[in-house]
Amino acid sequence: MMKYSIKTLFASLLLLFLSIGALGTMYLPLEDGKNSFEIMENTFNSLRKGITPPFDELNVANRANLGKSFSANLTFSNRRMTEAATRILLRNKLMVTPKGRTLKIQGDLGYTLKYLMDDVHQLYLNGNKKIENKYGMSSTQSMFVVDRILKKLAISMKSKRMTAQEKLINKIRFEELVPAYNLRSAPPIHINSGFTYLSIGTFALLMLTLLWDLANLLFFRTVTDISFLKKMSGAAKIENKAAFIKKQKARKKKAEALAKKAATATADVKKGKEGPAKEKAKKNKPPTTATPKNPEAKSANKKTAGTTTESKPAKAIEKPVSPKKAQSKASQKPSEKVIPPAGNKKTAGKSAPSKPKQATPKVAKPAKPAAVDKPPAPKKGKVKD
Amino acid sequence: MNYLSDRRLLFFLIVIAAILIPAAGICADTIIPPQYIGNTNNPYILPDGPGPGFLLSAAIGLVAGMLSATIGAGGGLIVVPALMSAGISGIYAVGSEIFRLFLFSAIEAVRMGLNKRINYKMALIMTGGTAAGGFAGFSLSSSIFLADPAGADVFISAMIIFWLIIYSFIIIPDFKEASHKYALELLRKENAEKEKEAAIQTGSSQNAEEAPPQKGNADTPQTGKTSAKDSALISFPDEEPWEIARTIRTMKLPPYINFPTTVKDKVLGADEELADTNPDDMEEAAKIADLSEAQPYARIPVLPALLLATVGGFFMALTGSAGIVLSFTVLTKGFGCVAAIVAGTDLVRLALSSGALTMGAFGLNGFINIYCITGLIAGTMTGIHLGGKAIRYIEPYRLKGLVSLVVISVIINRLLALPGQLKKAGADISYGLSTTLDQSALYIMIIGMVIFCGWLFYALVRDIIRDTKPILDEETK
């Protein structure tokens, strides 16, 4: 059993501060001004990005559209958007005829979609430079315009009842462009590296948790330990003092009782056997000591000296009983002797009820309930001894 | 009519181009791209960095830890709804909760292992089932999330409500039974005291001998501390097995696995006699006697346990709640298994399966939030130790009542949060109504959590203060 003291409290506090410190260091800037939490969150964002958009699957689905010419009218919400869309569509080899905010486009549907998917793939791989060079505007701006183009194109395909193409365009938009655009701040991560990062992060968190757990374990065990609490609050001192006073009082009482007993005993002896007693007293009496006549004075004298012959019976009571004698006395009371300590299950179960019955069934009967009710009594006595 | 010369035309075109090209550039620059494209309800919107933040997550973790200390393990039944109420998407809340479960149960399982409370074979079998169910649940949950994130929240809330209603069918009758027992005990004590008083009045002398032990029994701190043995993490008292436990343990459904049991045949006392039986019954009895010699209840069939673990794993991936209450109750009462070993085995199962789900599903797909996890785990570890110490001083029936209160508050929270989530998913519900219900849901959950934690905390502080006072008897006072 561990003993909890002020040392364990300090150790637990030290561990608590250590773990809080370790947690605090996670808020310190580590790389590019980003703290550990942000780096880990970025890793999780990359892992989120790992829900890989279906590039290959959609490329295969687009093969049927390669070489198919199409025309569509795309109307945009404002002039600037129209101009940006014109630039993007022209760069993807389509013939564009602007008419106000409406663009009439003509060209190969398959290749148009392929080029747009390549751009999305570049965005997914965080190849922003390439996109910027291609369109002369930032990757987010161009990809946002691509999103609008695809939306208008899908509507146009729907109006022409080209459902397969409409579905494909919607898929490109929602399953490729949206994830790539929304998760653009997270760099792509390979699944193996993702697993490694995750394992390292988990291990670090596990260590931090262990430290925190140990600190809490020590702290709460110490703080709720009764002996520690009593020691710290001073209750233990008060209890010890009270116990000491109680002991002293008990000793006094005992001594008084013994003195009374001794006095009555000597009085009886005097009354019963005055003649021989006097002779004996005369023989044994040392010449210097003078025995007081009244019994109270005798007992007082006995307390201080305790060597006179009259005090013999009292001595016999005061003497600590030898173990052998105690055993023989105890054997007269089977109820007290037979019951083993509560901890010993085997003997407690077997010997306690049977022995008194077999040994002294008649004598032991009245003592039996008391013995059964007090199984831990001998153990307590032992501990006190 | 004078036509423009070629030179002039060229000059004119150059000027126009010079004006137009920068203008186009400016136009492009003035297009302000949004942060996110697509629907507002799309799965690729990154969760708000810190989410509910470290401190709020730690507070939620503290409640979960206290709940874990009270009911044995878990706490997921409160973490996921609380995180969802704090604004985290359902699947991220479940992922974070499973990560928390992994860290917490790994440490607790090691502790259980040191105390030799684990049946490793059974733990491995159940881990297989839980992991299989968990991966199935994850694939369902993630596909719903990718199709419609708001719909996924509705689905997760509905699953939590369903799962917690099953819980409440276990916890609330348990609380009723415990409080009934406690009331009976109180009544018995009162009667005994009345009898004692009556005896004193009639001048009976036997009271003098009976008085000291009764004093000891009436000593409230003593009884409070003995009830500590009933607490979940300190020790696991064996449950009275249901009748079906005998059937399950003797059913012919191989393969089997040995697991210590609480199922025992009734042994007739010396004064009891067997009733008259016909020969057929005697034969049956002889068969049972043969079986009892061969320890008929020593083993359990693997398949029902595996099925239970699989169902538990499936719901764990959907709701974040590990189903410890259910599996513990079914294994201890339904299968008649020894509670302490069930608890240890369950923790190993939980550690391994939640680890597999974190590393192979939720974590690997990024459905976790680091701020939430760190806060949750710090709160949980503190809550477990704080709760573990506090429950020593609370009557078990009160603990069960408090857990029931938390469960009911969570059920109400999710029910009231449903309209708001349905609105996000596209349902035509008025903004005022959904917001009011959302706020009510939040407050109801907070009230439930505060009562639960407040009670435990008060019990702990009260008893620490009591322990600091010296114990003096009347004489020494």
Q: Is A377 exposed, middle or buried (0-12, 13-18, 19+ CB in 10 A)?
A: middle
Q: Is A100 exposed, middle or buried (0-12, 13-18, 19+ CB in 10 A)?
A: exposed
pLDDT in tens, A22-63: 888 888 888 778 888 888 888 888 888 766 678 888 999 999
Query: Does A50 sit within 8 Å of B365, measured CB to CB?
Result: yes
- Which of B44, B365, B470 has its CB closest to that of A239? B470
A107 lies in the same domain as A163: yes
Nearest to B48 by CA among B64, B39, B35, B37: B35
Residue A230 lies in a domain: no
B149-201 and B396-424 helices, crossing angle to 10°: 160
Which region, left, alpha or beta, applies to residue A31 given φ > 0 means left and ψ of -120 to 50 means alpha?
beta
- Structural domain spans, chain B: 53-177+298-465
Query: In angstroms, what separates the C-alpha of A256 from chain B's closest C-alpha?
Result: 19
Per DSSP, A65 falls in state: G
Q: Does A252 touch chain B if contact means CB atoms closer than 8 Å?
A: no
Q: Does A47 touch chain B if contact means CB atoms closer than 8 Å?
A: yes
Q: Are A264 and A299 a contacting pair, CB within 8 Å?
A: no
Separation in Å, CA B319 to CA B97, B167, B408: 9, 13, 16
Query: Does B37 sit within 8 Å of A220, measured CB to CB?
Result: no
Residues of chain B contacting residue A138, judged by C-beta atoms under 8 Å apart? 33
Q: Looking at residue B474, what is its pLDDT?
A: 65
Query: In angstroms, what separates the C-alpha of A267 from chain B's closest C-alpha?
Result: 34
Angle at A381 between CA A369 and CA A385, to 5 degrees: 165
Query: Does A173 sit within 8 Å of B36, measured CB to CB?
Result: no
A143 lies in the same domain as A177: yes
Q: Looking at residue B33, what is its pLDDT?
A: 85
Q: Does A374 touch chain B if contact means CB atoms closer than 8 Å?
A: no
Least confident of A137-146, A356-365, B128-137, B273-282: A356-365
A76 lies in the same domain as A196: no
A35 lies in the same domain as A57: no
- Which of A80, A226, A232 has its CB closest to that of B30? A80
- Which of B24, B370, B382 has its CB closest to that of A87? B24
Residues of chain B contacting residue A101, judged by C-beta atoms under 8 Å apart? none
A68 lies in the same domain as A158: yes
Residues of chain A contacting residue B37, judged by C-beta atoms under 8 Å apart? 143-144, 147, 177-178, 181-182
Residue of A nearest to B148 (CA): A174
Q: Looking at residue A31, what is its pLDDT?
A: 78
Query: In angstroms, what separates the C-alpha of B26 from chain A's closest C-alpha?
Result: 9
Show which of residues 302-321 on chain A sit within 8 Å of chain B, judged by CB atoms: none
Residues of chain A contacting residue B371, judged by C-beta atoms under 8 Å apart? 37, 41
Q: Looking at residue A111, what is its pLDDT?
A: 92
Residue A327 lies in a domain: no
Per-residue pLDDT of chain B in tens (477 residues, 90 and over written 9): 566 677 777 777 777 776 665 555 555 557 788 888 887 777 888 776 667 888 899 999 999 999 888 877 667 888 999 999 988 889 999 999 999 999 988 988 888 888 888 889 989 999 999 999 999 999 999 999 988 888 999 999 999 999 889 888 888 888 888 889 889 988 999 899 888 888 877 665 444 444 444 333 333 333 334 444 433 344 566 777 787 888 888 888 888 888 888 777 655 555 555 555 566 665 665 555 554 455 667 788 889 889 989 999 999 999 888 778 788 888 888 888 888 888 889 889 999 999 999 998 998 888 888 888 999 999 999 999 999 888 887 888 888 899 899 999 999 999 999 999 999 888 888 999 999 999 999 999 999 999 999 999 999 898 888 888 877 766 665
Quote the CA–CA distance of A361 and B373 in Å, as a whole number.
70
A22 lies in the same domain as A91: no
Owner of token pair 């315009």: A145
Show which of residues 48-107 on chain A sit within 8 Å of chain B, judged by CB atoms: 48-51, 79-81, 83-84, 87
Q: Does A213 touch chain B if contact means CB atoms closer than 8 Å?
A: yes
Residues of chain A contacting residue B386, judged by C-beta atoms under 8 Å apart? 216, 220
Q: Does A178 touch chain B if contact means CB atoms closer than 8 Å?
A: yes
Query: Does A178 sit within 8 Å of B366, measured CB to CB?
Result: no
Task: Return the higher-pLDDT residue of A330 and B169.
Answer: B169
Residue of A nearest to B381 (CA): A213
- The alpha-helical segments, DSSP class H, found in B86-239 are 90-114, 120-147, 149-201, 207-218, 220-226
Segment A110-134 shows an average pLDDT of 91
Owner of token pair 């007293």: A281
Least confident of A9-18, A125-134, B326-335: B326-335
A110 lies in the same domain as A95: yes
Query: Does A23 sit within 8 Å of B366, measured CB to CB?
Result: no
Query: In angstroms, what separates the C-alpha of A244 from chain B's closest C-alpha?
Result: 10
A244 lies in the same domain as A198: no
Q: What are phi and psi of A107, to 5 degrees?
A: 160, -160
Query: Does A373 sit within 8 Å of B475, measured CB to CB?
Result: no
Domain of residue A241: give its range: 235-318
Quote the CA–CA distance of B103 and B370 in Å, as a whole number.
13
Q: Looking at residue B83, what is its pLDDT?
A: 92
Residue A165 CB neighbours (<10 A)? 23
Query: In angstroms, what separates the C-alpha of A140 from chain B's closest C-alpha?
Result: 6
Query: How many interface pairs between A and B have CB atoms less than 8 angstroms apart?
Result: 181
A107 lies in the same domain as A19: no
Q: Does A296 touch chain B if contact means CB atoms closer than 8 Å?
A: no
Quote the CA–CA distance of A372 and B315 in Å, as a whole number.
53
Residue of A nearest to B29 (CA): A137
Q: Does A207 touch chain B if contact means CB atoms closer than 8 Å?
A: no
B195 forms beta bridges with none
Q: Are B433 and B417 a contacting pair, CB within 8 Å?
A: no
Residue of A nearest to B364 (CA): A47
Query: Does A226 sit within 8 Å of B476, measured CB to CB?
Result: no
**Number of domains chain A contains:** 4
Quick check: helix, strand or coil at residue A215? helix
Query: Does B469 sit within 8 Å of A198, measured CB to CB?
Result: no
A66 lies in the same domain as A147: yes
Angle at B396 between CA B391 and CA B399, to 5 degrees: 65
- Which of A45, A181, A195 has its CB closest to that of B37? A181
- Which of B367, B377, B469 has its CB closest to that of A209? B377
| A307 has a pLDDT exceeding 70 | no
Nearest to A188 by CA among A255, A228, A128, A237: A128
A81 lies in the same domain as A123: yes
Q: Which of A119, A150, A182 is the last residue of a domain?
A: A182
A90 lies in the same domain as A176: yes
Quote the CA–CA distance of A140 and A159 in Å, as a whole number.
29
Q: Which of A318, A351, A371 is the last residue of a domain?
A: A318
Residues of chain A contacting residue B212, judged by C-beta atoms under 8 Å apart? none
Residue A116 lies in a domain: yes
Residue of A nearest to B65 (CA): A213
Task: Return the higher-pLDDT residue of B204 and A194.
Answer: A194
Q: Are B348 and B75 a contacting pair, CB within 8 Å?
A: no
Query: In angstroms, what separates the C-alpha of B227 from chain A's closest C-alpha?
Result: 16
Which of A280-284, A348-352, B389-393, B453-457 is the most confident on average? B453-457
Query: Does A226 sit within 8 Å of B369, measured CB to CB?
Result: no
Residue of B nearest to A143 (CA): B33
Residue A39 lies in a domain: yes
Quote the CA–CA distance of B467 and A231 in Å, as a whole number.
10
Residue of A nearest to B369 (CA): A41
Percent of chain A predicted with pLDDT > 70: 70
Residue of A nearest to B370 (CA): A41
Residue A324 lies in a domain: no
Q: Is A269 exposed, middle or buried (0-12, 13-18, 19+ CB in 10 A)?
A: middle
Selected residue of B20, B21, B26, B27 to mutate for chain A interface (largest A Cβ count, 10 A): B27
Q: Which amino acid is at B189?
A: K
- Which of A41, A174, A177 has its CB closest to that of B49? A41
pLDDT in tens, A196-246: 888 888 898 999 999 999 999 999 988 888 888 888 888 888 888 888 888
Query: Does B367 sit within 8 Å of A138, measured CB to CB?
Result: no
Q: Are B380 and B70 a contacting pair, CB within 8 Å?
A: no
Residues of chain B contacting residue A179, judged by C-beta atoms under 8 Å apart? 44
Query: Does A141 sit within 8 Å of B374, measured CB to CB?
Result: no
- In this structure, what token pair is assigned to residue B371? 């701020």
Task: Return the higher-pLDDT residue of B70 and A277.
Answer: B70
Q: Looking at residue B251, what is its pLDDT?
A: 82
Quote the CA–CA distance of B376 and B96 in Å, as a whole number.
9
- Which of B28, B213, B377 has its CB closest to that of A84? B28
Residues of chain A contacting residue B373, judged by C-beta atoms under 8 Å apart? 205
Residues of chain A contacting residue B384, judged by C-beta atoms under 8 Å apart? 216
Residues of chain A contacting residue B385, judged by C-beta atoms under 8 Å apart? 213, 216-217, 219-221
Query: Does B45 sit within 8 Å of A173, measured CB to CB?
Result: no
